Structure 1
Amino acid sequence: MNTMAYKGYSARIEYDDEDGIFFGKIAGIADGVGFHADNVADLRAAFHEAVEDYLETCAKVGKPPQKPYSGRVMFRVDPEVHRKAALAAELSGKSLNQWAEEVLARAAIRQPEGG
């Protein structure tokens, strides 16, 4: 996966062969902020400019910029998965939150963050 990161924001990069351009969109926020360029150096600059423009626009309109993630995760799982995870956490001497964070971190390490 091709990604970039800047000031805590990340973007997935794709290539459009028909137009001969690289393009991306800031990930993890509801606001649609995209950028493009025809080479990698210009794409990096366009991404940085898109983040800066987004932050400046939010400041001008008095809206706090969305942060990609708060660190708070809530999701539902099958009760049997919940039971097994809680047991694994207890047996490892950790809270379910600590255990789940470690498991998610190990899984996420396999995915590049960008940069």
Structure 2
Amino acid sequence: MMEYKGYIGTVEFDADARIFHGDVINTRDVITFQGKTVDEIEHAFRESIDDYLEWCAVEGVDPEKPYSGKFNLRLSPDLHKEAAVTAKRLKMSLNSFVEKALRDELKAL
């Protein structure tokens, strides 16, 4: 993976075409790039992000920010209750409790 200005790109190699191609994975907008060498793919990634941001500025559109830190989560009512009660017992907000649980789970991977 590569990161530039908060945008994350992944790269795959197409053996048939003998080319690297990549996608920015942390936006809903489609941003792609390609190159024949590592240097070319890295340059193309940065150039694609810069082109996207420039296009947004010219069009007067707000660029999609990579992850705002907000997302909706749907739980069963029983799990919601259990999490809320446990968070209260730990003197934490539900948000802090869920964030901690996610962090702990990600560390375990």
Normalised-by-shorter TM-score class: 0.7 to 0.9
Q: 1:63: which partner in 2?
A: 61
SS in 2 for 1:29: coil
Q: 1:22: which partner in 2?
A: 20
- Mapped to 1, the partners of 2:105 and 2:54 lie a distance apart of 34
Can you give the 5+ residue segments of structure 1 that lack an aligned partner in the other structure? Answer: none
Q: 2:100: which partner in 1?
A: 102
Letter in 2 for 1:20: R
Scaled by the length of structure 2, the TM-score of the pair is: 0.86
Verify the 8 A CA contact 1:6 1:48 in the aligned structure 2: yes
Scaled by the length of structure 1, the TM-score of the pair is: 0.82
The alpha-carbon distance between structure 1 residues 72 and 48, as it changes in their structure 2 partners (threshold 3 A), is: same
Letter in 1 for 2:69: G
Note the 1:14-93 alignment, pairs <5 A.
14-93=12-91
User: Could you list the per-position Cα deviations for residues 34-78 of structure 1 after superposition, in whole angstroms to 9, with x for gaps in the alignment?
Assistant: 001122222111100000010111111111111121111212112
Letter in 1 for 2:93: S
- Mapped to 2, the partners of 1:73 and 1:26 lie a distance apart of 19
Structure ranking higher on relative contact order (CA contacts 8 Å, 6+ apart): 1
- Deviation, 1:89, is 1.8
- Percent identity over the alignment is 37
Q: CA RMSD in A?
A: 1.8
- Mapped to 1, the partners of 2:74 and 2:88 lie a distance apart of 20
| Higher relative helix content | 2
Can you give the 5+ residue segments of structure 2 that lack an aligned partner in the other structure? Answer: none
Between Structure 1 and Structure 2, whose CA radius of gyration is higher? 2
